[in-house]
Each structure stands twice: as structure tokens, then as C-alpha cells.
Chain A
Amino acid sequence: EPEVTQTPSHQVTQMGQEVILRCVPISNHLYFYWYRQILGQKVEFLVSFYNNEISEKSEIFDDQFSVERPDGSNFTLKIRSTKLEDSAMYFCASSEALEAYEQYFGPGTRLTVT
């Protein structure tokens, strides 16, 4: 069964450093998403991406964040200058289409900012 994959599974970085989280969505999916879950809290939407541009973003997704689909398979989330409060689990998801379509989630990347 096709699945979304994410690398790395765990990333430790120092405050102020740039990090790139990587995702490989399911191959025939057209819509891609990033979500975040701070420890002990809800899963929160960050951004959706379609046709090489952002479709929607949340208030959390400020200028420190960017997304890119650098080739036909990878989807990345970059945090330019990490803060302590960026420590969280980051999930990538993909779907065939938008409304009324299932979003498939990857296993997540645990980001720890020290």
C-alpha cells in the first residue's frame, strides 16, 4: 500500500539554525500539507500546497517557514531560524484532491530545538 514517508524521523538543532524537513508524498497525489503538533497538544494545520504554490496557510506559518517541491517527488518544509517554540512533531500529508478526499499522513519528524 502506498504511503507518505518523512525524513529524518528525529532532528535536533540549535536555536537560530535552519532546518529542512523532507517528505515524499504518495505518487499520484496532487495536494500536499504540513501539520504540526506541539507535545501534548492538538495537531495544527500549517500549510497546503498545490500546483507549485501555497493554497492556504495558517497564522503559524510566518516568514520563517517556507515550502517547496524541488523535484517530482519530494516536498520540503524549511524553517529559516529555529526558535525553542518550534520544537514539535511535524507531519506531512497528501491527498488526491481537496474537498471530501482523505488526507494520508506520514509518520512525522520530531524536531527538537535546543
Chain B
Amino acid sequence: GIQVEQSPPDLILQEGANSTLRCNFSDSVNNLQWFHQNPWGQLINLFYIPSGTKQNGRLSATTVATERYSLLYISSSQTTDSGVYFCAVPGYSSASKIIFGSGTRLSIRP
């Protein structure tokens, strides 16, 4: 099946810093999503970005489908940005399930 790898696995930053999270996937995809799992365990949809670039406030994402990666940028980090960030892509030969990466755990220190 399709493999999804995220890096780095852990990231500790001071408030106000910028960060770049990476998601690599092993096969071509027509769908990619980024999620934030907050400290209470809730999954929050951040971006649906099969290709190109999108921005939402301090967050932006870029997917280069031909090179099989996506990047999530967080600028001017705040403590509320802490949590785990997941990317997810459709399962190989599956029209329904999405496959999650292992996530990047981001900790923002005040």
C-alpha cells in the first residue's frame, strides 16, 4: 500500500518561531489533507490540498504532487499551535479510506 512519511517526528520551538513540516508519499495521489490534533485529542481539518498552495492565516501548505511531497508552514508560532500534525492521502487502490502519516509532534514553548 501507499506509504506516508512525515518529518521531523518531533519539533520544539520558542513562541514566535517559524516551522516547516514535511509529508512524503510513495505514490501519486489526487487528494491530500493536513490535520492538527490538539492536546485534547481532537482532529482539526487544516487544509485539503491535492496540489498547489493554500494559505489560512499564519498557516500555509504546498503540495507538489509530481514530486510526491507536501509542506506545511507555520509562521509566528503560538503556544496554541502545539499538538500533532498529520498529513493523510487516499489509500492505494481504495476510493474510500485515507492513510495517515505518523505525525509531527510540535511543542511551542512560551
**Chain A contact residues, CB within 8 Å of chain B:** 31, 33, 37, 42-45, 48, 50, 55-56, 58, 89, 91, 98-105, 107-108, 110
Contact = CB atoms under 8 A, between A and B. Distances in A.
A25 to B, nearest CB: 14
Nearest to A97: B95
Contacts of B30: 99-100
Interface stretch (B9-17, B38-46, B66-74, B75-83): B38-46
A43 B98 CA distance: 10
- Chain A contact residues, majority secondary structure: strand
A48 B35 contact: no
Size class of the B contact interface (CB-based, 8 Å): 20 to 34
B45 A104 contact: yes
For the complex of A and B, 8 pairs with smallest distance between CB atoms: A48-B96, A45-B97, A102-B48, A43-B100, A107-B42, A98-B95, A105-B43, A100-B30
Given A108-B41, A108-B43, A42 B98 contact: no
